[in-house]
Amino acid sequence: MSAELALIGPILAAMLAAATPLLFAALGELVVEKSGVLNLGVEGMMLVGAVCGFAVAVQTGSSTLGFVAGAAAGAGMAALFGVLTLLLLANQVATGLALTLFGVGLSALIGQGFVGIPIADVPELYIPGLTDLPVIGKALFGQDALVYLALAAVPAVHWFLYATRKGLILRAVGENHAAAHALGYKVIRIRFLAVLFGGAMSGMAGAFLSLDYTPMWAEGISSGRGWIALALVVFATWKPGRVLLGAWLFGGVTIAQLHVQGLGIDIPSQLLSMLPYLATVVVLVVISRDVARIRLNAPASLGKVFHPDA
């Protein structure tokens, strides 16, 4: 049994890494949704972020610049979404989905010259003593810097939303844009900034994939992680801390099922592959039973079109 116990550390470490792109993207989308906007284009923004980040890293040799470029590219895609939905009042659901379709094509187009090029990945952290701790050392103190950045974003987003005046305004805009407008807040500007932030975070999620997790560019490299991130926001009932739990749960079950297979436990792999999705549904059901709490957290104006003169 001790062989299985010794796997706990590596499973934790792999889980943290697997959760990272989900965290980036879901936290970004959470802020967007808190401002009352639903952007379903996460997958598309992730892909464009991934390819632009990779391209810049290849050209400049710097993964830091690549990461910044990924964020910028994600924000650029989000700006497109913002112009369409906030200024031209296009339907948010359809625009978001179209953004994904567009992003899949655009990233493939940009990426044509960058297939099959290897780059060095972001080095992992090593803290003498701590990283060498048994079982949890590698998991807690031996990850890539970006993993910690994503973790740090959780309290940062929470603090911004619930402890700052700007966060309060953003939430007010998401709750009731008419009232916020009447109070003199610039609803469209605030939402646009939130959308840009969400895009940048999605771009970072993509860049994490192409620069660090699997340092390469491949068409469709995000493989549906953008959708999972979207689901995690609902799962988390718009609470940053719960996004973390959801991302860990999803990442953890994903990694664990691979280990179950490797150990030769006789369950069909296709059924094991369902587990992360089923686990997410089950936990959602458990936390959703408290109706009042969900109502409190869901932004009331989510997805609704705002026009100052309407």
Partner 1 sequence: MGKALMGLATGAAMLALGVGAADAQEKMKVGFVYVGPISDHGYSYQHDQGRLAVEKELGDKVTTTFVENVPEGADAERVIEQLASSGHKLIFTTSFGFMNPTLKVAQRHPDVKFEHATGYKRSANVATYSARFYEARTVIGQIAGKMTKSNIIGYIGSFPIPEVVSGINAFTIAMREVNPKAEVRVVWVNSWYDPGKEAEAAKALIDQGADVISLHTDSPAAIQVAQERGLWVFGQSSDMTRFGPKAHLTAIVDDWREYYVNRVKAALDGSWKSQDTWGGFKDHMLFLAPYNPALPADVVAAAEKTRTDIMEGKRHSFQGPVKDQSGKVVIAEGKQATDEQILKMDWYVEGVQGKVPK
Partner 2 sequence: MTLLRLEPRGEASRAMVYATPLLAVALTLASGFLLFWAMGFDPVKALHAFFIAPLLSLRGLGELAVKATPLVLCAIGLAIGFRANVWNIGAEGQLTLGAITGGGLALAFYGEGGWWLLPLMIVAGMAGGALWAAIPAFLRVRFNASEILTSLMLNYVALHLLNYLMHGPYRDPDGFAFPESRLFEADAVLPLLVAGTRVHLGSLFALLAVAAGWFLMARTFIGFQIKVIGLTPTAAGYAGFNQKKIIWLTLLLSGALAGLAGLGEVAGPIGQMNPTISPGYGYTAIIVAFLGRLHPVGILLAGFLMALSFIGGEAAQIALGLPKAITGVFQGMLLFFLLATDVLIRYRVRFGAKGIVGRAAA
Instruction: List the x/- string, 13-42, binding to partner 2 by CB under 8 A.
Output: ------------------------------
Instruction: List the x/- string, 195-214, binding to partner 1 by CB under 8 A.
Output: --------------x---xx
Task: Name the residue type at position 128.
Answer: P
Helices and strands, number each (H, E), in the chain: 14, 0
Which CA distances in Å does 193 have to 65, 189, 218? 22, 6, 30
Residue number with CB closer to partner 2 (46 or 146): 46
Instruction: Find the radius of gyration of the CA atoms of the chain.
Output: 20
Site for partner 1 in 1-30 (CB under 8 A): 3, 7, 10-11, 14, 18
Pull the structure tokens for residue 2. Answer: 């001790």
The span from the CA of 38 to the CA of 22, in Å, is: 17
Compute how many other C-beta atoms are within 10 angstroms of the C-beta atom of residue 256: 18
Task: State yes or no: residue 64 binds partner 2 (CB under 8 A).
Answer: no
CB of 10 to partner 2, least distance (A): 25
CA angle 200, 205, 145 (to 5 degrees): 105
Q: Is the dihedral of CA 104, 110, 115, 118 positive or negative?
A: negative
Nearest C-alpha neighbor of 19 from the set 159, 149, 136: 149
Instruction: List the x/- string, 101-140, binding to partner 1 by CB under 8 A.
Output: -------x--xx--xx-x--x-------------------
Site for partner 2 in 257-296 (CB under 8 A): 268, 270-271, 273-274, 277-278, 280-281, 284-285, 288-289, 291, 294
CB of 83 to partner 1, least distance (A): 29
Reduced 3-state DSSP string for 128-151: CCCCCCCCCHHHHHCCEHHHHHHH
> Cα 220 to the chain's mean position, in Å?
16
Pull the structure tokens for residue 168. Answer: 């309060």
Q: Is the dihedral of CA 309, 298, 102, 106 positive or negative?
A: positive
Residue number with CB closer to partner 2 (166 or 307): 307
Instruction: List the x/- string, 221-250, binding to partner 1 by CB under 8 A.
Output: xxx-x-------------------------
The residue ranges that bind partner 2 (CB under 8 A) are 80, 84, 87-91, 93-95, 97-99, 101-106, 108-109, 112, 181-182, 188, 224, 227, 230-231, 234-235, 268, 270-271, 273-274, 277-278, 280-281, 284-285, 288-289, 291, 294, 307-310
Q: Contact positions toward partner 1, by CB under 8 A?
A: 3, 7, 10-11, 14, 18, 108, 111-112, 115-116, 118, 121, 209, 213-216, 218-223, 225, 254-255, 258-259, 261-266, 268-270, 273
